[in-house]
Structure 1
Amino acid sequence: MQPSARVRTLREAPVDPGGTHVLYWMTAARRTRSSYALDRAIDWARELDKPLWVLEALRLGHTHASARLHAFVVRGMCDNAARFEASPIGYYPYVEPKLNAGKGLLQAFARRACVVVTDDWPVYFVKNMTRAAAAKIGVRMELVDGVGLVPMSAPDRCFTRAHDFRRWCQKHADLWLGPQPRVNPLARLQLPVAGKPPVSRSKWPAAPVEPDAALDHVARLPFARDIPAIPGEGGSKAGRARLRAFVATKLERYTERNQPEAEVTSDLSAYLHWGHIGAHQVLRAVLASEPEWSPASISDLSRGQREGWWGMSPAREGFLDQLLTWREVGHNFVWHRPEDYASYESLPGWARTTLRAHASDERPQLYSLAQFEAAATHDPIWNAAQRELVQTGRIHNYLRMLWGKKILHWSASPPEALEIMITLNDRYALDGRDPNSYSGICWVMGRYDRAWGPERAVFGKIRYMSSDSTRRKLRLRAYLQRFGPE
């Protein structure tokens, strides 16, 4: 078993062949299919001839914890439990019942482990949590990158334009179209059977995995904010069902995605964010939907072209550009800018210069975070987009751009606007706290964009959007009715 471009050692310590088990600490790739990390853990268990335990835990104390986010993850735990139960792998789901109740659980699981495998996740608290844990574990600890199609460590620079990143991906397609994670690693799996969990059930009781009981448990947790769960959202089963439905009924019309009433967006980003579905699963489903396609269909020209490279229909090429280029250019940024990826200082120099030049411009309106959060602006389109976020955990793709542009327009300063966007998105969006989320938010203020004219008040040379132009471009009657005032 040789390490790949997706595996790096976080804890430089020897593997302990005398340990009792291999541990996979599941933190980001929360699924049992198409997972590089699960594959890696299984390979270790085979090589060492040891049982494999999977620990999937959920903290209560992270900044934006809520019933909405917890319920999404817990539905995935229920799916995982059912799958692991039919395998020799031991599975231990844990949901903190109160703050810090899970302290010491990982160390207890790792105390007699031969080696620990976990997910490489580049943002939010997971990144810091894994590094802090590594300092307390006495055996080798590996990070496995299962975030996207392209290994995050592969590009040797931070791309500032999507075109350049797309061109790099096209030139290095053999890297990310090469060996993929196993479609179903649990099928006919032979490993030593995991027995009794190596931790105290009384101190850290396993979470319920029957769906009704699991969601009832979530509903009783003491969250800081009352943000309700969204029925039916979350879990690998739901993610795969949504992928099948998208490919079967929406993909052919994906060129209409800017129209809210067309309802052709995939709605997969939350499932990708939480690892309930993997990018390779999505890629395989799209490629399989065009039976005549083969790798030989790919263009010999790799110039960063948005259309024509895959040799597929325009709708499929448009979707794959979103999956590969626009999703993963964000991974590239946070990999190379781990400390400031969401900061105002991370914006392009030209953007900060023009925003600074217009910082004292009079704003047409000024709203506070509380007013934005309550959808209490003068603009019915913006208010509808904010209500969609609060009610569903999503904003339609095109309206998300307008949502951000108007926060910039109506905030006291650009840094305050950035903070408001991140707070609202991370608090309510099912796919918040994600590299792609920060890409989209920072795009509002110039990331991956260029200077535009004419120069305008407040925006300067930042790309401008207005509700009036949006109303002219989009069919919004049904959308405004659905997310209008109660």
Structure 2
Amino acid sequence: MTPVPDARRRHLNERPLRRDGRYVVYWMVAHRRLEWNHALDHALARARECDVGLVILEALRIDYPWSAARHHRFVLDGMREHRTRLGDVPVTYLPYVEPKPGEGKGLLEALAARACTVVTDDYPVFFLPRMQAAVADRLEVPLESVDSNGIAPMRAAGRTFTMAVHFRRHLQKEIVDHLAVWPDAEPLDGLELPAVELPSDLLERWPMADDHLLDPDTDPAAHLPLSADVAPVSLRGGAAAGRERLLAFLDDDLEAYGEGRNDPDDDRSSGLSPWLHWGHLSPHEAVFRLLQREEWSPARVADKVQGKREGWWGMSAGAEAWLDELITWRELGFNYAAEHPDDYDDYDTLPDWALDTLADHRADPREYTYDLDTFDAADTHDELWNAAQRQLRREGVIHNYLRMLWGKKILEWTPDPRTALDVMIELNNRYAIDGRDPNSWSGIFWVLGRFDRGWPERAIYGKVRSMSSESTRRKVSVDNYLQRFGKDSD
């Protein structure tokens, strides 16, 4: 029997379980980790049910949108870690890196031909849902999709929310119940399953990633047809690196997180979004470790549900502020994308008030306008905006507070809001390690009014919230940030 709640599981086709199959396949596409993973837990439960072994297929396409050496390197780091971890565990691991577009076609179907069932990750954006739907129709066994994205199942609410406060109020009624069911922290410890040996012809057709490609010092662009312009960064992928950053944040930065996360010169933000995006770090593990440190129990929850950011959990100020980002804001994006699978990235899904006010001010004169190449090159008149873009290009991230300014100024310096949306999507998804994520779309569309309210009307922005470099300099310290990412630092 599976330990995974019904609200986290979906059948992507109606095929019957093949009882005489040789193994269960876990097709790992988003929750790229071997612990704290509901999808892995369900795959293991299916293997026990059928009394067969488990095959984990972790594949990496070569031609996904915005594919680049930067993103590949981060995933390959995790693959190297998985291969080592599974070396002495009764699970067969197949790390496959597509060498040319289309070369990986047919691999999953070949594995599924001998399988009882295929379990995969439920992830609501990018090309993954379309890919899984297409494959589901070609399989003769079930394709089961499991949501291990957040503390609350992303479809549990059954509706979307227009503002974070509404979603927060909903979560405060439900979250304690969701915290009663955790994925297994160490599902591989003491594991006993039958061994699985993959056919030699299958491995000849789709060989495992070799040592050289998984080497952390290897630039994937030197061996694969990838964009070398978006080069790997210093951040390393994998669960170990994500966990190291998590523990360092909890030790060093949590106490000052409430105010410090907005300060570019003394940054106290968690910095965990790359590992959360690629599934190397589980939000369940992050929350569990925080609850342990805070010695928290449900008895500390405030009696009244108010939808406020502070005071409900009964924790320290830093802990409550971080949980609001990690759970409320992060899972708001997953909820929206899951409930809007076909148009979460569509301009016309902005709230009516935002569409109306942006249309009213579409023809307002702009003091500055730039094209995509100028934005990309960080060659605007504004040194703070340029610094944020340079950080994105060099490090694959932007400081959280400056990311908002970065988007707002693109809205102001493009001919119209739809062009601004295109520019933000292109630059973020091209360079950001945590791009192409539900939270990417949340952040970008927040710039245009999603999950926000109307503000006093002004030119270009209308009633959409505005920001300026001048006001940002008054609110936070940026001198050191400009030294690191200013023009003279090139």
Q: What do the CA deviations read for 1:282-333 (whole angstroms, capped 9, x no partner)?
A: 1011111223x22211112111111000100111000000011000101111
Alpha-carbon distance in 1 for matches of 2:368, 2:14: 55
Match of residue 257 from structure 1: 261
**Alpha-carbon offset, residue 232 of structure 1:** 3.9
Residue of 46, 49, 72 corresponding to 1:47? 49
Whether 1:394 aligns to 2:397 is: yes
Alpha-carbon distance in 2 for matches of 1:217, 1:361: 45
Match of residue 436 from structure 2: 433
Match of residue 278 from structure 2: 274
Q: What do the CA deviations read for 1:383-415 (whole angstroms, capped 9, x no partner)?
A: 000000000010001000000000000001000
Whether the 8 Å contact between 1:71 and 1:218 is mirrored in structure 2 is no
Alignment of 1:415-454 (within 5 A): 415-453=418-456
**Alpha-carbon offset, residue 198 of structure 1:** 7.1
Whether the 8 Å contact between 1:408 and 1:414 is mirrored in structure 2 is yes
Match of residue 109 from structure 2: 107
Match of residue 462 from structure 2: 460
Whether 1:318 aligns to 2:321 is: yes
Q: Assess, with a 3 A threshold, how the Cα gap between structure 1 residues 227 and 311 changes in structure 2: closer, same or farther.
A: same
Whether the 8 Å contact between 1:74 and 1:215 is mirrored in structure 2 is no
Match of residue 38 from structure 1: 40
With 72-81 and 229-238 compared, the bigger mean Cα shift is at 229-238
Q: Assess, with a 3 A threshold, how the Cα gap between structure 1 residues 364 and 152 changes in structure 2: closer, same or farther.
A: same
Residue of 272, 275, 289 corresponding to 2:293? 289
Alpha-carbon distance in 1 for matches of 2:329, 2:405: 18
Alpha-carbon distance in 1 for matches of 2:192, 2:204: 30
Alpha-carbon distance in 2 for matches of 1:213, 1:272: 20
Whether the 8 Å contact between 1:150 and 1:175 is mirrored in structure 2 is no
Matched residue SS, 2:257 = helix
Q: Assess, with a 3 A threshold, how the Cα gap between structure 1 residues 213 and 420 changes in structure 2: closer, same or farther.
A: closer
Alignment of 1:176-325 (within 5 A): 176-197=178-199, 200-209=202-211, 211-212=214-215, 215-217=218-220, 219-224=222-227, 226-255=229-258, 256-291=260-295, 293-325=296-328
RMSD over equivalenced CA pairs, Å: 1.3
Alpha-carbon distance in 2 for matches of 1:199, 1:484: 54
**Alpha-carbon offset, residue 152 of structure 1:** 1.2
What letter matches 2:246 in structure 1? L
Alpha-carbon distance in 2 for matches of 1:302, 1:199: 59
Matched residue SS, 1:63 = coil
- Percent identity reads 50
Matched residue SS, 2:218 = helix
Alpha-carbon distance in 2 for matches of 1:197, 1:427: 38
Residue of 1, 7, 16 corresponding to 2:18? 16
**Alpha-carbon offset, residue 37 of structure 1:** 0.4
Whether the 8 Å contact between 1:24 and 1:38 is mirrored in structure 2 is yes
**Alpha-carbon offset, residue 83 of structure 1:** 1.2
Match of residue 4 from structure 1: 6
Whether 1:142 aligns to 2:124 is: no
**Alpha-carbon offset, residue 213 of structure 1:** 7.0
What letter matches 1:36 in structure 2? H
TM-score normalised by the chain length of structure 2:
0.97
Matched residue SS, 1:388 = helix
Alpha-carbon distance in 2 for matches of 1:414, 1:191: 55
What letter matches 1:328 in structure 2? E
**Alpha-carbon offset, residue 216 of structure 1:** 4.8
What letter matches 1:93 in structure 2? P
**Alpha-carbon offset, residue 100 of structure 1:** 1.0
Alpha-carbon distance in 1 for matches of 2:439, 2:63: 23
Residue of 18, 27, 31 corresponding to 1:29? 31
Q: Assess, with a 3 A threshold, how the Cα gap between structure 1 residues 199 and 259 changes in structure 2: closer, same or farther.
A: farther
Whether the 8 Å contact between 2:221 and 2:228 is mirrored in structure 1 is no
What letter matches 1:289 in structure 2? R
Whether the 8 Å contact between 2:72 and 2:220 is mirrored in structure 1 is no
Q: Assess, with a 3 A threshold, how the Cα gap between structure 1 residues 57 and 228 changes in structure 2: closer, same or farther.
A: same
Q: What do the CA deviations read for 1:187-221 (whole angstroms, capped 9, x no partner)?
A: 11111122235762221110025742783555321
Alpha-carbon distance in 2 for matches of 1:404, 1:252: 28
Q: Assess, with a 3 A threshold, how the Cα gap between structure 1 residues 339 and 196 changes in structure 2: closer, same or farther.
A: closer
With 358-367 and 261-270 compared, the bigger mean Cα shift is at 261-270
Alpha-carbon distance in 1 for matches of 2:136, 2:217: 30
Alpha-carbon distance in 1 for matches of 2:121, 2:99: 24
**Alpha-carbon offset, residue 98 of structure 1:** 1.1
What letter matches 1:13 in structure 2? R
Alpha-carbon distance in 1 for matches of 2:395, 2:187: 33
Alpha-carbon distance in 2 for matches of 1:217, 1:67: 5
Matched residue SS, 2:429 = helix
Whether the 8 Å contact between 1:119 and 1:146 is mirrored in structure 2 is yes
Matched residue SS, 2:117 = strand
Specify every segment of 5 or more residues in structure 2 that has no aligned partner in the other structure, as ranges.
none
Matched residue SS, 1:142 = strand
Alpha-carbon distance in 2 for matches of 1:375, 1:248: 35
Whether the 8 Å contact between 1:61 and 1:99 is mirrored in structure 2 is yes
Whether the 8 Å contact between 2:10 and 2:145 is mirrored in structure 1 is yes
Matched residue SS, 1:456 = coil
With 441-450 and 228-237 compared, the bigger mean Cα shift is at 228-237
Alignment of 1:357-376 (within 5 A): 357-376=360-379
TM-score normalised by the chain length of structure 1:
0.97
Whether the 8 Å contact between 1:72 and 1:235 is mirrored in structure 2 is yes
Alpha-carbon distance in 2 for matches of 1:215, 1:96: 16
Q: What do the CA deviations read for 1:435-483 (whole angstroms, capped 9, x no partner)?
A: 1110011001111111101x11101111111011111111111100000
Give aligned pairs, total. 484
What letter matches 2:294 in structure 1? E
What letter matches 1:414 in structure 2? P
Alpha-carbon distance in 2 for matches of 1:18, 1:468: 68
Whether the 8 Å contact between 2:151 and 2:175 is mirrored in structure 1 is no
Match of residue 343 from structure 1: 346
What letter matches 2:355 in structure 1? R
What letter matches 1:276 in structure 2? H
Match of residue 98 from structure 1: 100
Whether the 8 Å contact between 1:79 and 1:235 is mirrored in structure 2 is yes
What letter matches 1:300 in structure 2? D
Whether the 8 Å contact between 1:26 and 1:56 is mirrored in structure 2 is yes
Specify every segment of 5 or more residues in structure 1 that has no aligned partner in the other structure, as ranges.
none
